[in-house]
Amino acid sequence: MTDWSSHFELLEQQGWVVVDQALPKDLVLKLFDECQFFWQSNAFKEAQVGRGSTKLKQPDIRGDSTYWLNSEQPSSACNEFLNWSQCFRQELNKRYFLGLNSEEFHFARYPIGAGYQKHMDQHQGQSKRKISLVLYLNQTWLPSDGGELCLYSPEHPTQETGRVLPLLGRLVLFRSDLIPHEVCPAGQIRWSLTGWFRTDFI
Ligand code: OGA
Ligand code: MN
């Protein structure tokens, strides 16, 4: 596995970090293929905003569709990724003593023009999410295609601290409880694998 120490240092200092080529390129390409397969199979669902009975489709706020990975699917790249994520969770625990004990991931597809307005991942009732991870799956993406992930300061949520293009194999990690962020409108269909490392107490 990659030497994570310098990346973890940045994650600690600024609350987020971008890592290119953290996963083998052939795995990233296979994940993209499987993601396309789930999309073709109509397995994606339009994302909703809110929780429980207050869940609503609000495409102006959040315009993506998602497909949740599960460990029972006979899909090799997803399972390989889930295995990787379990090892990675142990690395996070060694460094931060967070006691992370589970993870969840979905593929996300933003159609042209869609984005996700500024939000935090640890909204009400979701304090179990501690570290957010996004892996981008876009093979051709130009700066003019927009669709950046914009990260903001925890103390000054209007102050942008980072702007990340969703390039193939690029991984972003950030603190789910601290970092306001948004997905700018995408000029191409935008694919990613997004998820959270969590603390769930049994
Ligand atoms: C999310 C999210 C960021 C991205 O799904 O909660 O913020 O860059 N995604 O796709
Ligand atoms: Mn988010």
Is any atom of ligand 1 closer than 6 Å to the C-beta of 116?
yes
Among 194, 196, 197, 198, the mutation site with the greatest number of ligand 1 atoms within 8 A of its Cβ is 194
Domain parsing of the chain, residue ranges: 5-41+63-198
Among 116, 136, 137, the mutation site with the greatest number of ligand 1 atoms within 8 A of its Cβ is 116
Instruction: Report the alpha-carbon distance of residue 40 to residue 103 in Å, rounded.
Output: 25
Q: What digits encode the pLDDT tens for the residues 181-192? A: 999 999 999 999
Q: What digits encode the pLDDT tens for the residues 114-138? A: 999 999 998 766 689 999 999 999 9
- Say if residue 1's pLDDT is above 70: no
- Ligand 1 atom 8 nearest Cα: 149
- Say if residue 53's pLDDT is above 80: no
User: How far does residue 72's CA lie from ligand 1's centre (Å)?
Assistant: 24
Domain 5-41+63-198 has CATH 2.60.120.620: yes
Q: What digits encode the pLDDT tens for the residues 57-93? A: 888 889 999 999 988 876 799 999 999 999 999 999 9
Is any atom of ligand 1 closer than 6 Å to the C-beta of 181?
yes
pLDDT at 202: 58
